[in-house]
Amino acid sequence: MGGDTLNEDKRIDMTRAILVTGGAGYVGSHTVAYLLENMGNDLEIVVVDNLINSYRKPGQKKPESLRIIEDMTGKTIHFYNCDIRDVQAMHRVFQNHLIECVIHFAALKAVGESVTKPLEYYQANVSGTCTLFEVMRDHGVHKLVYSSSCTVYGEPQRLPLDETHPTGAGLTNPYGRSKYFCEEIMKDLCASDKKWSVISLRYFNPVGAHPSGRIGEDPRGTPNNLMPYIAQVAVGRLEELQVFGSDYPTVDGTGVRDYVHVQDLAEGHAGALACFNKTEFTGFHAINLGTGTGYSVLQMVAAFEAASGKRVPWRVAARRAGDVAVNYADASLAARTLGWRARRTLADMCADTWRWQSTHPHGYAT
pLDDT tens track for 313-363: 999 999 987 788 999 999 999 999 999 999 999 999 999 999 999 999 999
CA dihedral 70, 71, 74, 75 (to 10 degrees): 10
Phi-psi domain of 11 (left: phi exceeds 0; alpha: psi -120 through 50; beta: other): beta
For the chain, domain boundaries: 13-365
| Cβ neighbours for 88, distance < 8 A, ≥ 6 positions apart | none
What's the confidence (pLDDT) of residue 216? 98
Of the residues 26, 175, 259, 328, which is catalytic?
A: 175
Residue-averaged pLDDT of the chain? 94
What's the confidence (pLDDT) of residue 42? 80
Indicate if 55 belongs to the active site. no
- If one compares 168 and 112, the residue with the highest pLDDT of the two is 168
Among 83-87, 213-217, 224-228, 290-294, which is the least confidently predicted range?
A: 224-228
**Predicted confidence (pLDDT) per residue in 244-281, tens digit:** 999 999 999 999 999 999 999 999 999 999 999 876 77
CB 109 within 8 A of CB 121: no
Region 157-176 average pLDDT: 94
What's the confidence (pLDDT) of residue 41? 79
Task: Show the DSSP H helices in the chain as ranges.
Answer: 26-38, 64-73, 87-96, 111-116, 118-121, 128-138, 174-192, 226-234, 262-275, 297-308, 332-337, 346-359
Superfamily of domain 13-365: NAD(P)-binding Rossmann-like Domain (3.40.50.720)
CB 51 within 8 A of CB 24: yes
- Is residue 1's pLDDT more than 90? no
- Is residue 139's pLDDT more than 70? yes
Rounded Cα distance between 332 and 338, Å, is 10
- Is residue 227's pLDDT more than 60? yes
At 239, the amino acid letter reads E
What's the confidence (pLDDT) of residue 61? 96
